[in-house]
Amino acid sequence: MGEAYFYHLTRQPLEAALPKLLEAAMSRGWRVAVRGRNPRFIDWLDQKLWQGPDEGFLPHGQSGGPHDALQPVLLTTAPKAANNATCVMSVEGAEIAPDEVRALDRSCIIFDGADPAALDRARQQWRDLTGAGCGAQYWSDESGSWAKKAEKPAT
């Protein structure tokens, strides 16, 4: 039974934080879906991930390609990823349902602390998921590294 981890970005932008979170997930052997709401945002994110550091390579693809099922990281707007993801990372407020949280190894909700609408959406997602009995953790990077600030166990 998975949990929802909420990642509050206060010191780094999504394009800096996401590769680190993806690498951590892949090091656990998880296949990952990065779920957004807007295809243009997914295109932008894809370009940012390809422009990553020279010393690293983050294998990923956008949904809709011929090899979606083989992608360790699949960028998508669809509620079901073709790569059989065991971890879903929600960006730009994309929906993650309680049943999905329970079925996955991990669900991550990544949100921008400088965006009031993103904060409101993340707070609503916390209430919805914990209200449905899902376990949740809240993490912030305000100290320069990730620190757990709150936790609500599954009920």
The domain spans of the chain are: 3-152
Confidence at residue 40, expressed as pLDDT on a 0 to 100 scale: 97
Q: What percent of the chain has pLDDT over 90?
A: 89
Q: What percent of the chain has pLDDT over 70?
A: 96
- Indicate the SS3 state at residue 111: strand
Give the amino acid at 47.
Q
**Out of 3-7, 38-42, 78-82, least confident range:** 78-82
122-139 per-position pLDDT tens digit: 999 999 999 999 999 999
Residues 11-26, mean pLDDT to the nearest whole number? 94
Give the amino acid at 103.
A
Give the dihedral sign, CA 20/126/103/93: negative
d(CA 122, CA 90): 10
d(CA 27, CA 59): 13
58-76 per-position pLDDT tens digit: 889 999 989 999 999 999 9
Confidence at residue 54, expressed as pLDDT on a 0 to 100 scale: 60
d(CA 61, CA 72): 8
- As a whole number, the mean pLDDT across the chain is 94
Residue with tokens 């099922």: 69
Q: Which one is the CATH code of 3-152: 3.40.50.10110, 3.30.360.10, 3.10.20.30, 3.40.50.920?
A: 3.40.50.10110
pLDDT at 50 over 90: no
d(CA 87, CA 44): 21
d(CA 91, CA 100): 16
> Helix and strand tally (H, E) in the chain?
4, 8
d(CA 54, CA 77): 28
Residues 92-118, mean pLDDT to the nearest whole number? 97
Q: How large is the C-alpha radius of gyration of the chain?
A: 15
**pTM, entire model:** 0.94
Confidence at residue 58, expressed as pLDDT on a 0 to 100 scale: 86
